[in-house]
């Protein structure tokens, strides 16, 4: 099977077969039904989504021997000749290679003649934005006074480059990118029609990587058909197109969320060793993080085909704020890799930077604290604290400061843990009541303390002989001091557009 045979063979032949562009096809069908024929149409949209296919179906509907119909019969001679590309009155011009004034002058002369056999002369000009300024001017004259037997259909991926004077004379239709689901279904039906031996997982990967273009998806499937001897596996797809598997990204993300620098460096190295392109790594990574965010937020991704349980678990292991911050840094990385496409060190550094994003489980609280604003909930928790303080006062024998010194002494007696010991000195004991110790911790140390909280609890048990729960609170001052100038916090404020609170 030759390249692009599939695409040609299964090109939609009527409006009902067009995938994902219902908003366009329904409007066109209704216009045709009512005999409202325009003289110039502009089909705008990304590549490979069906613009030229729809243009050809429209040409057939206008010229079908059964009359102007909402869907062509595809059986009459005219329909068949248009499908074959041999119809004299349907002229396809590639704007990219015929972009000069001479071609348009020829066109203008030809336009004057009536169609030889069909009802309308239809000019389909693809990539119309490529025409030169002179060519557009020449074209405009025809568009201003179009002969009644002529219909222009312009297709473009860049409508913003088409002069306004031309745009204003066209009925414009915007084609959209296809969803993964739509592409997947189309591939599934192709596989069935052609008895291609493959599985859902492989088709799913192709659908994801086609970036909304059905033509690309079909092209990839076809390449795989000629590549594999028998069954097409996901391994074939990864090998032929250099796709990086999700499991590699999952490992990298785990490294980042666990702040495990070794795993990160190894993960990147592992991907490079397999011969993957750095840009593919970055591109795939962006898609992966985007997907994680959707999973984390429980937003059912309408474009996705199936739910990956491992991915969901991973997504739920961190906060949405963390993923958003990773996504933000990843977008920067994607922008920068264009300038330094061969730098592995750059990728390493970017990923390590992501691992240094602070844990932002409650970004709103953090931002409010920075700005001195507190939510009702936060106020409540502070109120609670005051109540606890009152309780403490009612227990004359318990001096929390003295108890804290005893705990510190116990810890000082243990070996090592110097780092832990040193920042404990900055911790301020607040209350001790009902076996609960409340500590006021500078936010810069909050995470460290949380990590080593078991050491503290052990020390408490050793000191008092019973289990003690530890509550950590952070005051406004300490947060402000520690984080106000942190570049990462500044970045996060940007992401969440939190300037108004500051």
Position among 42, 62, 79, 357 found at the interface with Zn ion (CB under 5 A) = 79
- What CA–CA distances, in Å, run from 377 to 299, 381, 432, 501? 26, 6, 23, 17
Stretch touching Zn ion by CB under 5 A, among 13-21, 79-87, 116-124, 297-305: 79-87
Q: Is residue 69 near Zn ion by the rule CB under 5 A?
A: no
Stretch touching Zn ion by CB under 5 A, among 62-70, 122-130, 157-165, 213-221: 62-70
Stretch touching Zn ion by CB under 5 A, among 70-78, 135-143, 271-279, 347-355: 70-78
Q: Is residue 73 near Zn ion by the rule CB under 5 A?
A: yes
CA dihedral 10, 11, 15, 18 (to 10 degrees): 80
Do 426 and 383 form a contact (C-beta atoms < 8 A)? no
Q: Indicate the pairing of strand 428-433 with strand 121-126.
A: unpaired
Number of residues that bind Zn ion (CB under 5 A): 5
Q: Closer to Zn ion by CB, 62 or 407: give it.
A: 62
Q: Closer to Zn ion by CB, 76 or 240: give it.
A: 76
Q: Closer to Zn ion by CB, 76 or 355: give it.
A: 76
- Phi (first) and psi of residue 438, to 5 degrees: -105, 130
Q: 20's torsion region: left (phi>0), alpha (psi -120 to 50) or beta? A: left
Do 356 and 488 form a contact (C-beta atoms < 8 A)? yes
Residues 6+ apart with CB under 8 A from 461: 467, 468
Rounded to a whole number of angstroms, the minimum distance from the CB of residue 72 to Zn ion is 5
d(CA 267, CA 432): 46
Q: 432's torsion region: left (phi>0), alpha (psi -120 to 50) or beta? A: beta
Paired tokens of 13: 């032949």
Rounded to a whole number of angstroms, the minimum distance from the CB of residue 31 to Zn ion is 18
* Residues within window 236-255 making contact with Zn ion, judged by CB under 5 A: none
In the DSSP assignment, the letter for residue 264 is H
Instruction: Go through 183-197 and write b for each residue having 16 or more CB atoms within 10 A of its CB, e for each that does not.
Output: bbbbbbebbeebebe
Separation of CA 181 from chain center: 15
Q: Closer to Zn ion by CB, 75 or 402: give it.
A: 75
Strand blocks (E) in 72-179: 90-94, 121-126, 150-156, 171-174
Rounded to a whole number of angstroms, the minimum distance from the CB of residue 66 to Zn ion is 5
Q: Is residue 5 near Zn ion by the rule CB under 5 A?
A: no
Rounded to a whole number of angstroms, the minimum distance from the CB of residue 64 to Zn ion is 3
Q: Closer to Zn ion by CB, 69 or 143: give it.
A: 69
Rounded to a whole number of angstroms, the minimum distance from the CB of residue 71 to Zn ion is 9
Q: Closer to Zn ion by CB, 87 or 131: give it.
A: 87
Do 467 and 437 form a contact (C-beta atoms < 8 A)? no
Stretch touching Zn ion by CB under 5 A, among 25-33, 77-85, 281-289, 423-431: 77-85
d(CA 93, CA 98): 7
Do 46 and 213 form a contact (C-beta atoms < 8 A)? yes
Q: Closer to Zn ion by CB, 65 or 134: give it.
A: 65
Position among 44, 64, 104, 118 found at the interface with Zn ion (CB under 5 A) = 64
Stretch touching Zn ion by CB under 5 A, among 32-40, 65-73, 280-288, 334-342: 65-73
Position among 76, 140, 167, 482 found at the interface with Zn ion (CB under 5 A) = 76
Stretch touching Zn ion by CB under 5 A, among 61-69, 115-123, 132-140, 284-292: 61-69
Stretch touching Zn ion by CB under 5 A, among 60-68, 153-161, 280-288, 414-422: 60-68
Q: Closer to Zn ion by CB, 73 or 167: give it.
A: 73
Binding site for Zn ion (CB under 5 A): 64, 72-73, 76, 79
């Amino acid at each position: 099977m030759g390249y692009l045979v599939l695409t040609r063979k299964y090109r939609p032949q009527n409006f009902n077969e067009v995938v994902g562009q219902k908003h366009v096809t329904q409007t066109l069908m209704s216009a045709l039904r009512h005999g409202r024929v325009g003289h110039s149409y502009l089909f705008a949209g990304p590549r490979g989504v069906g613009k030229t296919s729809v243009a050809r179906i429209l040409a057939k509907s206008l010229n079908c021997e059964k009359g102007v119909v909402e869907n062509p019969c595809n059986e009459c001679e005219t329909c068949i000749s248009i499908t074959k590309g041999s119809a004299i009155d349907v002229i396809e011009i590639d704007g990219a290679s015929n972009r000069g004034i001479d071609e348009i002058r020829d066109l203008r002369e030809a336009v004057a003649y009536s169609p030889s056999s069909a009802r309308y002369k239809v000019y389909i000009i693809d990539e119309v934005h490529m025409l030169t300024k002179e060519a557009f001017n020449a074209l405009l004259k025809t568009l201003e006074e179009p002969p009644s037997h002529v219909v222009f259909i312009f297709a473009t991926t860049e409508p913003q480059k088409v002069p306004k004077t031309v745009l204003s004379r066209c009925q414009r239709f915007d084609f959209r990118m296809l969803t993964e689901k739509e592409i997947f279904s189309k591939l599934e039906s192709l596989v069935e029609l052609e008895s291609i031996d493959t599985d859902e997982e492989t088709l799913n990967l192709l659908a994801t990587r086609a970036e909304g273009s059905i033509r690309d998806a079909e092209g990839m499937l076809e390449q795989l058909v000629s590549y594999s001897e028998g069954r097409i596996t996901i391994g074939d797809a990864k090998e032929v197109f250099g796709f990086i598997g999700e499991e590699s990204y999952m490992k990298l993300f785990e490294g980042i969320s666990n702040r495990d620098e070794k795993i990160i460096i190894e993960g990147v190295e592992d991907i490079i060793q397999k011969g993957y392109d750095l840009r593919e790594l970055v591109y795939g990574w962006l898609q992966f993080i985007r997907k994680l965010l959707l999973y984390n937020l429980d937003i059912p991704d309408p474009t996705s085909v199936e739910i990956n349980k491992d991915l969901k678990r991973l997504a739920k292991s961190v906060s949405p704020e963390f993923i958003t911050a990773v996504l933000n840094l990843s977008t920067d990385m994607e922008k920068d890799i264009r300038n330094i496409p061969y730098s592995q060190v750059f990728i390493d550094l970017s990923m390590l930077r992501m691992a240094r994003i602070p844990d932002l489980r409650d970004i709103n609280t953090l931002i409010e604290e920075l700005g001195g604003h507190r939510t009702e909930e936060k106020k409540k928790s502070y109120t609670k604290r005051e109540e606890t303080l009152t309780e403490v006062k009612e227990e004359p024998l318990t001096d929390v400061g003295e108890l804290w010194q005893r705990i510190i002494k116990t810890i000082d007696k243990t070996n090592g843990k110097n780092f832990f010991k040193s920042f404990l000195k900055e911790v301020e004991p607040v209350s001790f009541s009902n076996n609960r110790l409340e500590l006021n911790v500078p936010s810069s140390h909050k995470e460290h303390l949380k990590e080593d909280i078991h050491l503290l609890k052990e020390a408490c048990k050793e000191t008092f002989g019973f289990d003690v729960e530890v509550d950590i609170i952070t005051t406004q001052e300490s947060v402000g001091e520690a984080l106000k100038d942190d570049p990462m916090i500044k970045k996060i404020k940007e992401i969440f557009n939190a300037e108004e609170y500051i």
